[in-house]
Amino acid sequence: MTGLCAALAAARHGAKTALVQDRPVLGGNASSEVRMHICGASENQQKPELNEGGILHELMLNNKRVNDDFCFSIWDAVLFDAAKYQPNLTLYLNTSMHSAKAEGAKVREIECYQLTTEKHLFFTADIFADCTGNGTLGAFVGAPYRTGSEGKREFGEPHAPDKANNRRMGNTLLFKAKDMGHPVEFIPPAHINEYTEYDLRLRKHGPDVPQEVLERADPSELRMMYDGYCPDFGFWWIELTGEQEDIISEYEDIRDDLVKAVYGVWNHIKNVDQSAANFALQWVGMLPGTRESRRMEGDYMLTENDVFTNRRFEDVVAYGGWQIDNHAPHGLKDVDRFPADVYEFPGSYDIPYRCYLAKGFENLFISGRSLSASKLAMASSRVMGTCAIGGQAIGTAAAQSIGKKVDIRSISVHELQQTLLRDDCYLPCLKNEDEMDLARGCSVSASSHQNGYEAENILSGVTRAIDGATNAWRSAGLDASGEWLQLDLPAPASVGMVQITFDSNFNIEKRIALSSKRQKQQVIGVPPELVRDFTIVLTLNGQEVGRQEVRNNHLRLCRVPLRQAACCDSVRLEIHATNGSPEARVFEVRLYEQNC
């Protein structure tokens, strides 16, 4: 998700971009090959106001529109469609980067092989972004990286071990099972691992909570593990690290062991404790997802202290909020430990731009789970929502760097932040200060409003309910005669594009998910709160000078380029229908002279 969002952002901002991906489908661990659901700062809706916006949210809404049955192949197609048909972006699937060249502080070229066409491809570029998860490009060109845990002395992190070590979280294969409504036999493959009830006693694999778990787990761990338990979705704790604990060089061996482990655990619950009599396997992954390998060193390294103290940085370009989620060092083999140590914290932390700049390189971004972060900070920042918004930030930064012909450290971070806000990325504590936005000087009125949701809220500069403010207009109702919101300009000005941020309701999940528990938390289809049909009307001295109709909207961020820019003194948003909700909701309206 990091690489995809980075590439889309760079291309949308005008940079000629190549997205090189060694597999046939996009999305990394969120693709149909691995099928992990995307988590982020909202921490599975413990903090819904922190859901990621931007490109990731747009992709999720595109998926909600067409994928009522949570089909991962359709999700693959949504991602493919976004990348394949994005102007300025060329997609190279099945193309594996196998080496790279640098000259001094600059990456010059990556060398790739496209398996399907037997082509050797060489890419030169002004800027490279390493979104491989493993930090492979960085490692190829000799950028500094780390593996394992920092010792406590280095950053003074509360949960760091006294001494540094080389332990990494393991890889996992997921599966999907279905309740068939009648008993289903399971005949295991010939080669499986055998697990006893003792081996699995600290790992949720049935509806009952073992006494030892009740005694040892804290309430949040119990809630996480046992609420809505259903054996239909692979167990994330089927996790292995390899004999030498080297996730990369032992990947193939780990996979072999994981296959035996997955079928071994399923055999246990089907044929030993018999807690899933009616369930049948529908799908078992063969491509293990990776949680942790290299972490690159950047200009700044995020730490557990930054995470726990909700640290704010002036050069914030992304944020995180997922708990520190640090897994047992030997995965399934640590039978006497819980599979993960989880440390929750309220609120969010900033991720500074410096974390994305590979130390010692002038044109190399690092991101995703190989971001410049300590192991404990990465235990939070690795979730795909956080990776995706970081990807959007570096893609946008790359385009600005190319556009201005300056290196990636010399761009204006303020401009980058403002661009990200305009593109519906949330940055804690920052507001819209875009000087090109004509709406900022306007007065606002509306046909009606609910208390606390007055029309002028749409100019608060923040596009979500957060920090005690609604930052939204909501109409009192919505009937066939419609509702309207009007912006009056202080003086006539030319308007060529209207940008509206509607409310997709962050309180409800939108992600593709394998787990029936996660599916049931969702509303099927387009979020009902999103405005569906609306018209923009421009007037000058009371005379209509422009009109644009939009029908069947399913997006939160809606950019409406007008057929022709017009000089006007007022812009009215007439709302005719939502996707089901009985009120109109708007977070922000921006007015621009041109489409941008």
Ligand X SMILES: Cc1cc2nc3c(=O)[nH]c(=O)nc-3n(C[C@H](O)[C@H](O)[C@H](O)COP(=O)(O)OP(=O)(O)OC[C@H]3O[C@@H](n4cnc5c(N)ncnc54)[C@H](O)[C@@H]3O)c2cc1C
Binding site for ligand X (CB under 6 A): 1-3, 20-23, 28-29, 36-39, 96-97, 131-133, 136, 172, 236, 289-291, 368-369, 382-385, 387
Residue with tokens 């790992």: 203
**237 or 473: CB nearest ligand X:** 237
**3 or 53: CB nearest ligand X:** 3
376, containing H or E segment: helix 375-381
**To the nearest whole angstrom, how small is the minimum distance from the Cβ of residue 506 to ligand X?**
16
Contact assessment for residue 17 and residue 10, using Cβ atoms and an 8 Å cutoff:
yes
Tokens of 163: 């001494």
**47 or 291: CB nearest ligand X:** 291
CA distance 379 to 381: 6
**229 or 236: CB nearest ligand X:** 236
109, containing H or E segment: strand 106-114
Contact assessment for residue 144 and residue 360, using Cβ atoms and an 8 Å cutoff:
yes
Contact assessment for residue 76 and residue 413, using Cβ atoms and an 8 Å cutoff:
no
**To the nearest whole angstrom, how small is the minimum distance from the Cβ of residue 386 to ligand X?**
8
Residue 226 CA, distance from chain mean position: 25
**236 or 343: CB nearest ligand X:** 236
Angle formed by the axes of helices 54-66 and 2-12, to 10°? 100
**To the nearest whole angstrom, how small is the minimum distance from the Cβ of residue 327 to ligand X?**
9
Residue 215: count of CB within 10 angstroms of its CB: 7
If phi over 0 gives left and psi between -120 and 50 gives alpha, with beta otherwise, what is residue 333? alpha
Which residue stretches of 156-250 are H helix?
197-200, 211-216, 219-226
**To the nearest whole angstrom, how small is the minimum distance from the Cβ of residue 492 to ligand X?**
47
Contact assessment for residue 291 and residue 382, using Cβ atoms and an 8 Å cutoff:
yes
CA distance 321 to 43: 7
Beta strand spans in 180-315 (E): 239-240, 279-284, 295-296
**169 or 538: CB nearest ligand X:** 169
Maximum separation of any 2 CA atoms in the chain, in Å? 81
CA 209 vs CA 192, 219, 327: distances in Å: 26, 12, 20
DSSP 8-state assignment for residue 298: B
**34 or 591: CB nearest ligand X:** 34
**To the nearest whole angstrom, how small is the minimum distance from the Cβ of residue 29 to ligand X?**
3
CA distance 356 to 390: 8
CA distance 304 to 158: 8
492, containing H or E segment: strand 483-502
Beta-strand pair 106-114/119-124: antiparallel
Residue with tokens 């590979």: 358
**138 or 546: CB nearest ligand X:** 138
**To the nearest whole angstrom, how small is the minimum distance from the Cβ of residue 594 to ligand X?**
33
**To the nearest whole angstrom, how small is the minimum distance from the Cβ of residue 367 to ligand X?**
7
**To the nearest whole angstrom, how small is the minimum distance from the Cβ of residue 86 to ligand X?**
17
540, containing H or E segment: strand 531-540
**322 or 484: CB nearest ligand X:** 322
**20 or 465: CB nearest ligand X:** 20
Residue 277 CA, distance from chain mean position: 36
Contact assessment for residue 493 and residue 566, using Cβ atoms and an 8 Å cutoff:
no
CA distance 380 to 43: 10
**132 or 303: CB nearest ligand X:** 132
**221 or 503: CB nearest ligand X:** 221
**To the nearest whole angstrom, how small is the minimum distance from the Cβ of residue 292 to ligand X?**
8
Nearest to 363 by CA among 318, 398, 400: 398
CA distance 54 to 464: 12
Residue 343 CA, distance from chain mean position: 21
**To the nearest whole angstrom, how small is the minimum distance from the Cβ of residue 31 to ligand X?**
7
**To the nearest whole angstrom, how small is the minimum distance from the Cβ of residue 481 to ligand X?**
44
Q: Which residues contact 106 (CB under 8 A, 6 or more apart)?
A: 361, 362, 363
**3 or 527: CB nearest ligand X:** 3
**20 or 478: CB nearest ligand X:** 20
Using DSSP's 3-state secondary structure scheme, residue 499 falls into: strand
Using DSSP's 3-state secondary structure scheme, residue 336 falls into: coil
What's the angle, vertex CA 421, arms to CA 419 and CA 424, rounded to 5? 115
**214 or 286: CB nearest ligand X:** 286
DSSP 8-state assignment for residue 243: S
